[in-house]
Amino acid sequence: MDTVAASETAPGWGGLRQRFSRAMENPTFLGFLFVAPAELLLLIFLAYPFLLGLWLGFTNTILGGKGEFVGFNNYAYLLSDPTFRLAVFNSFFYTVVAVILKAVLGIGLAVVLNRDFRSKGLVRAIVLLPWIIPTALSAICFWWLFDSTFSGISWLLIKLGIIDHFIDFLGTPWNARWSLVAANVWRGIPFFTIGLLAGLQTVSQDLYEAAEIDGAGSWKKFRKITLPLLTPLLTVVTVFSTIWTFADFQLVWIITKGGPASATHIFGTLSYERAMQGGRFGEGAAVSNFMLPILVICVLIAFIFLRKED
């Protein structure tokens, strides 16, 4: 049938056109053709740099120069570098504390929002704002909000009589770490809330009513019904948030630049400093590569759960 149609419309080109249009009906050929643009972009700008990064970590490449293979020198050097060790600690502190706070506060807000009330749509839209607004821009705002002399937070706390002098938010290592966690939590709550709210809405009201008849209180209903039913979704959201927090860059870079005195570097900011500012690409790549084992574990957890869902 195809042959007839093709030879009728274009007699001269018959063979070629026919072969082309038949190929276009072949799922395998068409499949590869359709996937090609996406795959090419991802191969050149994602897969290739990923592998190149692994290699760079084993070289002494510097900005604009060719590097030589140096084995594990970069990694050995980093492990003896106090700044790097502190960055490892900071990365874990930042990730663990921020993700836990985001999860707890995010679930809390999702539970609060999971009922019918007027202007629910508007409130939901407002809740997502910190997530929508470019992080670099809100980070600038936090930087100013954490100012040692003009912070509104300090001013308010003094007026309330809680403290007696302005807090030097970014001046001491621990103050700076907690300030960064606060900014990260602020930005991440909406992701947990909106992600989980969709899951909450699918929980049947009958379950709660049945529990109420059995005399269960709010906390018990939450522990025994809400939380177990939310666990699969919560795992996925937590894994994503963990990856992003662990591999963060912009919040920390804009607010503290890794300071004071390199005390708040995390993997991302330290590798930027070593590679882009210091010009030591090999060493910078090695810093980034230290993140890989953790990320692989997160990805595996994500996969196991996503597969289960299917």
Partner 1 sequence: MGVERSGSKIVKFYVPLAFYLIFLLFPFYWMTITTFKSDQELYNLKLDPFFIHSPTINHVVELFTQTIFLRWMANTFFVAIMATAISLAASLLAAYAIQRLRFKTAGPTGVAIFLGYLIPQTILFIPLATIIFKFGLWDSLWALILIYPTFLIPFCTWLLMGYFKSIPKEMEECAMIDGASRIKIFRRIILPLCLPGVLSAGIFCFTLSWNEYLYALSFISTTAKKTVAVGLVTELVRGDVYHWGALMAGALCASVPVALVYSFFVENYVAGMTGALKE
Residues 290-309 that bind partner 1 (CB under 8 A): 291-292, 295, 298-299, 302, 306, 309
Q: Nearest Cα to 60, choosing from 295, 247, 278?
A: 278
Between 33 and 210, CB nearer to partner 1: 33
186 near partner 1, judged by CB under 8 A:
yes
CA distances from 152 to 85, 164, 169, 186 (A): 34, 14, 12, 17
Q: Scan for tokens 């001269």, then name that residue.
A: 12
Shortest reach from residue 87's CB to partner 1, in Å: 12
Specify the stretch interacting with partner 1 by CB under 8 A; choose among 80-88, 136-144, 168-176, 222-230.
136-144
Shortest reach from residue 94's CB to partner 1, in Å: 13
Integer Cα distance of 284 and 278 in angstroms: 9
- DSSP state string for 77-120: HHHT-HHHHHHHHHHHHHHHHHHHHHHHHHHHHHHHHSS--TTH
Shortest reach from residue 103's CB to partner 1, in Å: 14
Q: Nearest Cα to 103, choosing from 236, 205, 294?
A: 236
Interaction with partner 1 in 228-287: which residues (CB under 8 A)? 233, 236-237, 243-244, 246-250, 253-254, 267-268, 271-272, 275-276, 281, 284-285
21 near partner 1, judged by CB under 8 A:
yes
Shortest reach from residue 299's CB to partner 1, in Å: 5
Between 93 and 222, CB nearer to partner 1: 222
Burial of 106 (0-12, 13-18, 19+ CB in 10 A): buried
Is the Cβ–Cβ distance between 102 and 194 less than 8 Å?
A: no
- DSSP state string for 115-141: S--TTHHHHHHHHHHHHHS-HHHHHHH
Is the Cβ–Cβ distance between 196 and 229 less than 8 Å?
A: no
Interaction with partner 1 in 148-167: which residues (CB under 8 A)? 149-150, 152, 155-156
92 near partner 1, judged by CB under 8 A:
no
Which of 16, 41, 79, 100 contacts partner 1 by CB under 8 A? 41
Specify the stretch interacting with partner 1 by CB under 8 A; choose among 6-14, 25-33, 68-76, 171-179.
25-33
Shortest reach from residue 15's CB to partner 1, in Å: 18
Integer Cα distance of 88 and 81 in angstroms: 11
289 near partner 1, judged by CB under 8 A:
yes
18 near partner 1, judged by CB under 8 A:
no
